[in-house]
Structure 1
Amino acid sequence: MKALVYTGTQELVYRDEPNPIEVSGESILKIHASGICGSDMHAYHGHDERRIPPLILGHEVSGEVQNGKFKGKDVVLNPLITCGKCEYCTSGREHLCPHRIILGMNKPIERQGVFAEFVSTPDTNIYEIPDGLDKNEAPVAEPTAVSLHAVLIGEQSLKKPLSECKILIQGGGAIGLLCGLILSKIKNCKNIILSDPNKLRLNECSKYLDAKYVAPDHNEIESNKFDIVFDTVGLEISRQQAIEVVKPGGSIIHIGLTQPAGTFNFRKMTLQEVTVIGTYCYTNKDFEQTLSILANKEIGSLDWIEFRDLKNGGDAFKQIHDGTCVAPKIILIP
């Protein structure tokens, strides 16, 4: 099969790779479409110890099952593979499974990713694409589930209705836009600011989400102003801003993974009882709810997705890296 292989820092090669082999309890998918995630970009930059080259990256995917009980079905994958037996898996919090792995990683266990023509996946991670959801748009289910989970845990942390909150979303990528769409169209939030240094990206997001769009240093982002902040960037500077601008008693939902450490105003967090919640993925229930949301068009048009050929995926990564990519999400087609 052809695959886009991560071979070194900022290096991707489109080349022949062995087809996946049939394994009991798993199915092989002929891939329809696969999305580029921020975590794939972290690997591309050489900043992810869980993704070591050479490796086929990617975990947001739809495809047609080639074997087994789902043969011939168009499906979307939940790429989060868990043990199914631990205290988290048996209590509906399987996303916290200590043995969790994801497609497109090789640490601690190798699972080749989906920037390819075929991929193998456990049958338990397969969901049929519902009516109303285009098979090439279906890979966006995974980042939508991430965003839905972040909004839900943020909502649970607050002492007043989410719809009454002043909200800051840091970052206009797919997760930032999806958080905003869920907040606006499903949670009925009217007071949303989305910040990003890329004006072209802000302009693109503004076509789909009713919010105020500003640069990160805009005077609208004031100290102690926001009931809840969604940091989808994960830089030291974005965390510093988040704790500066969140209100006493407010919440910061930290989703971004760009920088793992840095200074942070723990004094304010402590004195003003600020809740800080880290979130990385989602539960099976979140994923199922997401498929319903997308099939029923609850967050509106997905025209903000840009489609590229898999063979040109290296150029897409470079444009995301350079900041010249306008689309919040690029999906690759084999």
Structure 2
Amino acid sequence: MNDTSVETMDCGVCVTPGTFAVEARAKPTEAPAGHRLVDIAAVGICGTDYHIFEGKHPFLDYPRVIGHELSGHIVDGPEAGTLVVVNPYISCGTCRACRRGKPNCCTRIAVLGVHRDGGMCPRIVVPEGNLYPAHGLSPEQAAMVEFLAIGAHAVARAGCGTDDRVLVTGAGPIGLGTALFARLAGAEVHLMDLSQSRLDAARNLFGFTESHRPGDDILSGDLSEGFDVVFDATGNAKAIEAGFPLVAHGGSSVLVSVVKDDITFPDAEFHKRESRIIGSRNALREDFDRVMAAIRDGHIPTDAIATATLPLSDLRDRFAELVEDRENIIKVLVTP
């Protein structure tokens, strides 16, 4: 008699808004052509996962296996055992954006953990073109690459360099990643956040001494002419609009976060300053490579970024707690 049993694995699932569970799902044993099996080593929890738990994500159907900040080991083939970073943005490869080298904004993009089940589980199947060798990194460091690449991509989009004065609004993980790569590009970096605890962490852990609170009289003294680049990482429409007057003449506003609201600005001021508004979405292969090189060279303090590492079995009882305490968390990593 043939053995028809199916091997299962524990997966972290957001069942409905407000309900997180660890459920058994079938463990994949074969990959279709052009895809590889990957045993997940570490998963980062990010703001997207918190929004999914809260029911605030506009492009998601429940239940969903979450997790898109992923590292793992290739299961078979000549690269078996190789540690890789998983690029979670699955692009079509054929639309105009993809044909022009911009798969990060593919018209039919599917993000792991959002549009399709993610990697909060022991094993996934991924297109082999989305796997990047993570030589010289630990599994935990490799799981941080994706969110850092979002900031690196935003900095590249802005063209930041030496002598630029930069303001990053929103000192959460994406904002911190943006600030770290703006500083690596040679810019003078300022941070703004409602949370004093986040600003204190940015100072104490990463050395960002220039910080501001919303409502401060920021355009005075040496800062009276504003900032060459203002990056928004708040996800708040009012914060985005409040950032426009802080852009110096000839400067740029870079929208790293995304909101569902309409954003408005005074056209006369926009033209008078010859401002640029730049959207920055996801990241490209070169951004992932740039982040991995920066980590290997010791420019990114990954030990300071990692707030805690938990086994998946603990997450069932602690996920709601993490959502509530996220102001005091930079990055929680999960080992499935």
Query: Normalising TM by the smaller chain, what interval?
Result: 0.7 to 0.9
Which residue is 2:171 aligned to? 172
Q: Distance in 1 between matches of 2:202 and 2:244?
A: 25
Letter in structure 2 aligned against 1:119: I
Which is higher, the Rg of structure 1 or of structure 2?
Answer: 2
285, 291, 309: which one pairs with 2:311?
309
3-state SS of 1:298 partner: coil
Which residue is 1:78 aligned to? 87
Q: Distance in 1 between matches of 2:329 and 2:134?
A: 24
Q: 1:266 to 1:43 in 2, by over 3 A?
A: farther
**Residues 43-62 of structure 1 correspond to what in structure 2 (within 5 A)?**
43-62=52-71
Counterpart check, 1:196 vs 2:193: yes
Q: Which moved more, 1:115-124 or 1:77-86?
A: 77-86
Letter in structure 2 aligned against 1:219: D
Query: What TM-score do the two structures reach when normalised by structure 1?
Result: 0.88
TM-aligned CA deviation for residue 253 of structure 1 = 0.5
**What's the CA shift string for 1:274-326, capped at 9, x where partnerless?**
21111111122222222222222223444221222223335654345324542
Which residue is 2:277 aligned to? 276
Q: Distance in 1 between matches of 2:227 and 2:71?
A: 37
3-state SS of 1:53 partner: coil
Q: 1:129 to 1:203 in 2, by over 3 A?
A: same
Q: 1:100 to 1:252 in 2, by over 3 A?
A: same
Which residue is 2:125 aligned to? 120
8 A contact 2:141–2:302 mirrored in 1: no
**Residues 176-255 of structure 1 correspond to what in structure 2 (within 5 A)?**
176-184=175-183, 186-190=184-188, 192-206=189-203, 207-220=205-218, 225-255=226-256
**What's the CA shift string for 1:13-63, capped at 9, x where partnerless?**
122222235231222222110011222222222222322110101111011
Which residue is 1:102 aligned to? 111
**What's the CA shift string for 1:86-144, capped at 9, x where partnerless?**
443333222222222111123xxxx310111222111111122111x111121111111
Letter in structure 2 aligned against 1:2: D
Letter in structure 1 aligned against 2:251: G
8 A contact 1:13–1:314 mirrored in 2: yes
TM-aligned CA deviation for residue 219 of structure 1 = 2.7
Which stretches in structure 2 are left out of the alignment for 5+ residues?
Answer: 1-8
Q: 1:229 to 1:247 in 2, by over 3 A?
A: same
Q: Which moved more, 1:308-317 or 1:175-184?
A: 308-317
Letter in structure 2 aligned against 1:328: I
Which residue is 1:159 aligned to? none
3-state SS of 1:164 partner: coil
Counterpart check, 1:134 vs 2:142: no
8 A contact 2:85–2:134 mirrored in 1: yes
Letter in structure 1 aligned against 2:38: L
Q: 1:193 to 1:11 in 2, by over 3 A?
A: same
Query: What TM-score do the two structures reach when normalised by structure 2?
Result: 0.87
3-state SS of 2:300 partner: coil
Q: Kindly, what percent of the aligned residue pairs are identical?
A: 25
Q: 1:283 to 1:55 in 2, by over 3 A?
A: same
Counterpart check, 1:37 vs 2:37: no
Which residue is 1:328 aligned to? 330
**What's the CA shift string for 1:190-249, capped at 9, x where partnerless?**
3x2211222222222212133312322333366862221110112111112111221232
Letter in structure 1 aligned against 2:118: G
Structural RMSD (CA): 2.2
Q: Distance in 2 between matches of 1:168 and 1:94?
A: 28
